[in-house]
Amino acid sequence: MLNVKDVKKDFPVLKNRDVVYLDNAATTLTPDSVIQSLKNYYQNLGTSVHRGIYQLANETTEKYERARKKVADFVGSDSPREIVFTKNCTEGINIIAYSLHHWPEMEGKILVTEMDHHSNILPWRFMANGSEKFQLEYVDVTKEGRLDLEDYKSKLSPDTVAVGVPGISNVVGTVNPIKEMTDLAHERDALVVMDGAQWLPHRKFDISEYKVDFLTFSAHKMLGPTGLGVLYGKEDLLCRMPPPFGGGEMVLKVDRRKVKWNDPPQKFEPGTPPIAQIIAFGASVDYLNELGISEVNEHVDRLAQRAVNKLSEIPYVDIYGPKEGESRGGLVSFNVEGVHPHDLATALDSLDNIAIRAGLHCAQPLHEVMELNSSARASFYVYNAPEDVDRFIDAIKEAKKILGGADER
């Protein structure tokens, strides 16, 4: 069990400000060890990687590649060569979509779901729009926010070439049956691209268990620096895929007519990378490993269920997604009757320094399916305590009195 009181001491924002931070699905706060890693790079290293042969450059490159190995181990990859550093989770999915689009033998149907984040919809839309090679189709989601597995099975076909799916919905917290979906897709020789942005921060993920072909996630959602994401890809696929960007470091040889690409992952990492952020992300992985990802998962699940239980007791609150006894990610989306989510978020901040998200959460198709104009979302992480949930609930009740009148039911 996590000692939240001790964990909070590691986060300068929480030492410097009285805030209940419940917007962790968007981005997490940063612990001292990660901040110090960033500072150490600029104070004691400061060089580029893979290019210098002097001691300082070698030391920087060693720390940089050690971080890649940490990330590979974190997701159960057998080889650091399967870990590509990107700008964010979004860029990772765009790389996959672009590369598959320009893969000569790739042609057919792309499946995504109605609960996907725009980041796992728009790259495929770009790929399919105006194309005679590709067609985009959506897997249905119920009004309760659950993926329709029977619809998924019916839409999988021999001409399906790729499936894009979120491990966990960033709106309703639905945990999708990734292993079953992957097995079904592989039976039809389709590739599986998992958006792991909401899964990796607080759930164990092992490539050898889930067997997805590609996995993307963001550092800033798991205590790391901004401006950095990860693309995992099976090495044989990365070797065959054409890169979407051109620049230094990604080639073995260039002349005026021909190019020979470097091996993965450098093949997909042109130019000078975000070195400080990558090294610091290694410190983020260390921090999560020290806490224990299973303990993190248990802690976040408890907080989310506590929030669901307490919100369920309020008659004027509508909750979306899985309820008690069902698996859900570390978040809860809801609406307060008669109060717009933006007004609610503003009120919670003003009343008691409680930070939540309000809006469409970059998932407009899902809101349309659920017949919602917007929603409020609270999401939890390692530095949140049960008292934070209670404070959040009390503030909702107070906000309702101010914004929508007291409800005596």
Contacts of 8 (CB under 8 A, 6+ apart): 14, 15, 383, 385
Q: Write down the H helix ranges in 105-177.
A: 122-128, 149-155
Contacts of 336 (CB under 8 A, 6+ apart): 316, 317, 344, 376, 396, 399, 400, 404
Q: Write down the H helix ranges in 114-250.
A: 122-128, 149-155, 178-187, 207-210, 235-240
Going by C-alpha positions, the residue among 19, 379, 403 that lies closest to residue 198 is 379
The answer to whether the beta carbons of residues 27 and 220 sit under 8 Å apart is yes
Longest dimension (CA), the chain: 77
Q: Cα–Cα distance between 171 and 367 in angstroms, integer? A: 9
The set of catalytic residues is 362
* Residue written as token pair 């057998």: 78
